[in-house]
Amino acid sequence: MKKIKNKEELEKLRGRLKKEREKYEILISVCAETGCIASGSLNIYKKLEKEIKKIKNRKIKLLKTGCHGFSEFDPAIVIYPEKIFYVKLKEEDIEEIVEKTIKNGEIIERLLYKDENGKCISYLNEIPFYKKQNRLVTRLNGLIDPENIEDYILFEGYSALIKVLNEIEPDEVIEIIKKSGLRGRGGGGFPTGRKWELCKKAEGTPKYIICNADEGDPGAFMDRSVIEGNPHSVIEGMIIGAYAIGSNEGYVYIRHEYPLALERLKIALKQAREYGFLGENILNSGFSFDIDIVRGGGAFVCGESTALMASIEGKVGEPRAKYIHTVERGLYDKPTCLNNVETWANVPLIINNGWEWYSKIGTENSKGTKIFSLVGKVKNTGLVEVDMGITLKEIIFDIGGGIKNNKKFKGVQTGGPSGGIIPEKFLNLPVDFDRLNEVGSMMGSGGMIVMDENTCMVDVARYFLNFLKEESCGKCVPCREGIYHMLSILNRITEGKGEIQDIEKLKEIADVMKKSCLCALGTTAPNPVLTTLNYFEDEYIAHIKDKKCLSGVCVSLVKYYIVPEFCNGCHACYKVCPIGAIEGDVKKVHKIKQDICIKCGSCYEVCKFNAIKRD
């Protein structure tokens, strides 16, 4: 491929690509992101490839794309132009799809998504999961092959870069980003344009650009999906940022556990170089910029900007004080502009559509859309992109379809392990940076874990603190020791050894941590404890005073026993008990041997006669 030198050449290429794509009557997109691949989508792809080859009279294009977002129903395919959406496919279904749908345009009901009432929905855009979404950053997931730069070019790709290089001065670019109201998607929500401006004004060269792709929150996969689905949008954003700030060197710091994203990013960077979007004298503008990849080593704390920079420098990944900001003294003590994957991916959108367009989306202080990974006890788990300001209720109940197994909603945790748990009374809360902070949680990078009535809130706080105990770097005293002591107290409470003063102690430790920890990992670590204490204090009291876990989660406080009057000796519990703690012959009353019962609750779940009670 000859390097593209100007707008005309790019337009010419795009024209050719458009014509090529228009030749195809049918386009089948197979979701091939880490999650989808795990559910077997590559086998679906191979089988489709084989079957399609047999069709000679029609031009069909098969695409391996990023995630459609509807993870719950993987592996899934979309057949264009109608956008027929088939879910939870098996290899055996492929022949039928080819025979009926591809050849004859017939829709196979069996493979369609069914809504709550069992009604089949044929087309992607009619599915409730997608209705309230506004897919901007993820708009091309499902339409392009992330391993082919030409697919990206076909859909406006690199137009923003050309526009910027040809028509807009660096300072003006910063002004556009400032006016758009874009805020950092990594968690802090710092105004992106302002960050760029500060970095540009900072003394010292070289200046560095970094993309933070060290997405470590449990249950979060937004950044992975963006890179796996559309890596060039991130690269284009970074090049534009570099041009605006005056940087010639960039890094993507990518999580060790993301091999596929890494692979696709490598391919994308190579292709971007080949096409002349990266490297020396980009598009003949005289501006040079290139990007290197640095792979993380598996530490959660390296998602923190200063720890990340230390890690790139080859030092131990530990945060340092940010009293002198990283825009002034960051990587190698030089001015550095670090933004998250999603933030970078927003940049080309803003340039292409204008800041006026962008600033109309969202709320007053939080503009644009936000991608969330909706997980937990919700019916439709998956990747969700919504306008800022949408309510939690809309996300969880309209998009997410409500709680699994028709259980009751109890809380939702936003913002990763150090986010807070938001109770039912705030379900109508509009989701944006400031409103989430007001209720003691945070936007974070966009994890959203939904919890149902069977969740014990003390246990949840304990769980997250346990995660943070492992992941705190241990550098500063309040974080290292504070988490440890809070966790010890929570362990005691869940074991029924808590005392009422413990609640006060937890609050005191949390207060000190919030004020005195070195980095945001420490200052936000108490959030799960504080919010559960705030909104679910009765559960703490029940654990401490009554020695009871009403959700039946804390094994030390739970006892299962069989009510003889209800037991008809069906033997179901006997069969399901994993350690043989249930004795009794068929058709005779059974009994649980309390001394060996591990309180897993399997018998409780399986008993159809309400004979097993939990206390």
- CB of residue 322 to other proteins, shortest distance in Å: 10
Contact 261, 222 (CB under 8 A): no
Out of 320, 329, 367, 379, point to the residue binding other proteins (CB under 8 A): 320
Q: What is the spatial distance between Cα 416 and Cα 393, in angstroms, rounded to a whole number? A: 19
Residue 505, interface with other proteins (CB under 8 A)? yes
Residue 301, interface with other proteins (CB under 8 A)? yes
Q: Which stretch binds other proteins (CB under 8 A): 79-87, 342-350, 397-405, 502-510?
A: 502-510
Q: What is the spatial distance between Cα 393 and Cα 593, in angstroms, rounded to a whole number? A: 44
- CB of residue 327 to other proteins, shortest distance in Å: 16
- CB of residue 488 to other proteins, shortest distance in Å: 8
- CB of residue 184 to other proteins, shortest distance in Å: 19
User: Two tokens at 510?
Assistant: 């949390």
Contact 245, 209 (CB under 8 A): yes
How does 317-333 read in b/e, with b if 16+ C-beta sit within 10 Å?
bbbbebeebbbbbbbee
One-letter amino acid of 353 = N
Residue 216, interface with other proteins (CB under 8 A)? no
What is the CB neighbour count within 10 angstroms for residue 357?
12
Please give the residues from 438 up to 497 whose contact with other proteins meets the rule CB under 8 A: 469-478, 480-485
Residue 106, interface with other proteins (CB under 8 A)? no
Q: Provide DSSP, 97-132.
A: IIIIIIHH----GGGBEE-TTS-EE-BGGGSHHHHT
Residue 306, interface with other proteins (CB under 8 A)? no
Out of 512, 555, 576, 606, point to the residue binding other proteins (CB under 8 A): 512
Given the complex with other proteins, which of 25 and 438 has the nearer CB atom? 438
Which helix (H) or strand (E) covers residue 410, if one does?
A: strand 409-414
For the chain, report the end-to-end CA distance as a whole number of angstroms: 70
Per DSSP, the three-state class of 236 is helix
Q: What is the spatial distance between Cα 307 and Cα 305, in angstroms, rounded to a whole number? A: 6
Given the complex with other proteins, which of 132 and 514 has the nearer CB atom? 514
Q: Which stretch binds other proteins (CB under 8 A): 29-37, 100-108, 305-313, 505-513?
A: 505-513
Given the complex with other proteins, which of 515 and 587 has the nearer CB atom? 515
How does 228-262 read in b/e, with b if 16+ C-beta sit within 10 Å?
bbbbbbbbbbbbbbbbbbebbbbbbbbbeebeebb
Residue 515, interface with other proteins (CB under 8 A)? yes
Residue 507, interface with other proteins (CB under 8 A)? no
Please give the residues from 246 up to 275 whose contact with other proteins meets the rule CB under 8 A: none
- CB of residue 582 to other proteins, shortest distance in Å: 39
Contact 291, 251 (CB under 8 A): yes
Strands 113-114 and 409-414, sheet pairing: unpaired
Q: Which stretch binds other proteins (CB under 8 A): 260-268, 281-289, 315-323, 332-340?
A: 315-323
- CB of residue 334 to other proteins, shortest distance in Å: 18
Q: Which stretch binds other proteins (CB under 8 A): 22-30, 319-327, 339-347, 455-463?
A: 319-327
- CB of residue 570 to other proteins, shortest distance in Å: 48
Contact 407, 154 (CB under 8 A): no
Q: What is the spatial distance between Cα 30 and Cα 47, in angstroms, rounded to a whole number? A: 11
Residue 518, interface with other proteins (CB under 8 A)? yes
- CB of residue 179 to other proteins, shortest distance in Å: 24
Residue 108, interface with other proteins (CB under 8 A)? no
- For other proteins (CB under 8 A), the number of binding residues is 32
Residue 38, interface with other proteins (CB under 8 A)? no
> What is the distance, to the nearest Å, from the Cα of residue 231 to the centroid of all Cα atoms in its chain?
16
Length of the chain: 615
Which helix (H) or strand (E) covers residue 371, if one does?
A: strand 369-376
- CB of residue 501 to other proteins, shortest distance in Å: 10
Residue 299, interface with other proteins (CB under 8 A)? yes
- CB of residue 299 to other proteins, shortest distance in Å: 7
- CB of residue 500 to other proteins, shortest distance in Å: 15
Q: Which stretch binds other proteins (CB under 8 A): 38-46, 318-326, 362-370, 567-575?
A: 318-326
Given the complex with other proteins, which of 312 and 517 has the nearer CB atom? 517
Contact 303, 212 (CB under 8 A): yes
Q: What is the spatial distance between Cα 36 and Cα 74, in angstroms, rounded to a whole number? A: 6
Q: Using CB under 8 A as the criterion, which residues of the chain lie in contact with other proteins when the complex forms?
A: 299, 301, 316, 320-321, 323-324, 469-478, 480-485, 505, 508-509, 511-512, 515-518
